Copies of this chain bind each other. A is one copy, B any other.
């Protein structure tokens, strides 16, 4: 019996969320190779970088070049992170398919990470929406609410505040919104409860979940959100990334692990998990000495994996 549940999209964020936390600068040619091979493995959404000042994140200074390459690949949705209007103007000029504006539900984290309060970010989204509309570009605006399940600086974050900010982002002109467990505090029960409330509030404009694997729960949390119909998740190859404000944070959901889980469940018919695993090996060599994560690379794929995926 084939599982006829809807496919789930894996959005690769390693080139942005991953590389921004690594001091070494990956050469542009490597980034392009990464994007090209991930696309060849069937990944159709990739966050290629951030439009932030190069002196703040020299690792991502070549975002425009990587984006220009990504735009040549058929069917690929190439996204970038932008922290403000200036970054958004770069993204519009460069023809990004999507720009993600991060917002921290927690005030202290917001000030530490973005030097703005959450409501100042909402106001910036309003300006970004005006700029997008004036430009005639079709770049999608996604507002991403981070520290949605708690924060290392403050502890608990009120779900009511998270929901208020989701609505505020949409009211300010975001096309869609997402929820991020920036510091790895979520558990499957919290995910069920918050995503259920968020879906009731904003429906399918809630487009994505972003889970860190800090405490080993990224894949379980993704399953909890999938059970509610969420069908897009961020992940990074080799699990690189994490929040500089979360001590001991052990990275994102690993793309190869998520791809394996989705493929095994019949939810990612177009992903070539073996190819992603091979690319993970290459990226690991490029990043020698950096802390990497994930489980699948150690064990490899199950015997007869292709048959395995459709087991009744």
Q: Is residue A38 within 8 Å, beta carbon to beta carbon, of the partner chain? A: no
Does A67 lie at the interface of the complex (its beta carbon under 8 Å from any beta carbon of B)? no
In the bound complex, what is the Cα–Cα distance between A214 and B297 (angstroms)? 10
Chain A, 186-226, CB within 8 A of any chain B CB: 187-190, 193, 213-217, 219-220, 222-224
In the complex, what residue of chain B is closest to A155 when comparing beta carbons?
Answer: B304
For this chain, the copies found in one complex come to 2
Does A284 lie at the interface of the complex (its beta carbon under 8 Å from any beta carbon of B)? no
A215-B3 contact given A159-B312, A223-B188, A308-B150, CB 8 Å threshold: no
A183 to B304, CA, bound (A): 14
Whether the Cβ atoms of B215 and A295 lie closer than 8 Å is: yes
Q: Which of A249, A257, A311 has the most CB of B within 10 A?
A: A311
With A215-B260, A261-B220, A302-B155 known as contacts, the answer to whether A3 contacts B296 (CB < 8 A) is no
Contact between chains at A311 and B184 (CB < 8 Å) = no
Contact present for A296 and B215 (CB under 8 Å): yes
Given contacts A248-B298, A248-B300, A295-B215, contact A189 B150 (CB under 8 A): no
Query: Known: A215-B296, A295-B213. Contact between A308 and B260, CB under 8 A?
Result: no
B-side contacts of A3, CB under 8 Å = 189
In chain A, residues 255-312, which have Cβ atoms closer than 8 Å to a Cβ of chain B? 257, 260-261, 264-266, 294-296, 298-300, 302-304, 307-308, 311-312
Chain B residues whose CB sits within 8 angstroms of the CB of A311 once the complex forms: 149-150, 156, 159, 190, 193
A185 within 8 A of B: yes
Query: Which residues of B sit under 8 angstroms from A113, Cβ to Cβ?
Result: none
- Residue A254 at the chain B interface, CB threshold 8 Å: yes
> Is B156's CB under 8 angstroms from A298's CB?
no
Contact B307 A156 (CB under 8 A): yes
Interface presence of A84 (CB below 8 A): no
Nearest chain B residue, comparing its CB with the CB of A296: B215
CB proximity of A250 to chain B, nearest CB, Å: 5
Q: Select one of B214, B265, B266, B304 contacting A156, CB under 8 A.
A: B304
A28 at the interface (CB under 8 A from B): no
Task: Say whether A152 faces chain B, with CB atoms less than 8 Å apart.
Answer: yes
A156-B308, A190-B311 known; A257 and B295 CB under 8 Å?
A: no
B185 and A302: CB pair below 8 A?
A: yes
Write the nearest CB–CB distance from A292 to chain B, whole angstroms. 13
| Interface contacts beyond A155-B304, A216-B295, A248-B298: sample of 4 additional A-B pairs, CB < 8 Å, sorted by A | A156-B308, A156-B311, A190-B311, A248-B300
CB-based closest 3 A-B pairs = A216-B295, A155-B304, A187-B264
Q: What are 13 inter-chain pairs, A to B, with CB distance below 8 A? A: A150-B308, A152-B303, A155-B303, A155-B304, A156-B307, A188-B265, A189-B265, A193-B312, A216-B254, A216-B294, A220-B261, A223-B224, A250-B295
**Which residue numbers of A lie inside 8 Å of B, CB to CB?**
3, 149-152, 154-156, 159, 183-185, 187-190, 193, 213-217, 219-220, 222-224, 227, 246-250, 254, 257, 260-261, 264-266, 294-296, 298-300, 302-304, 307-308, 311-312
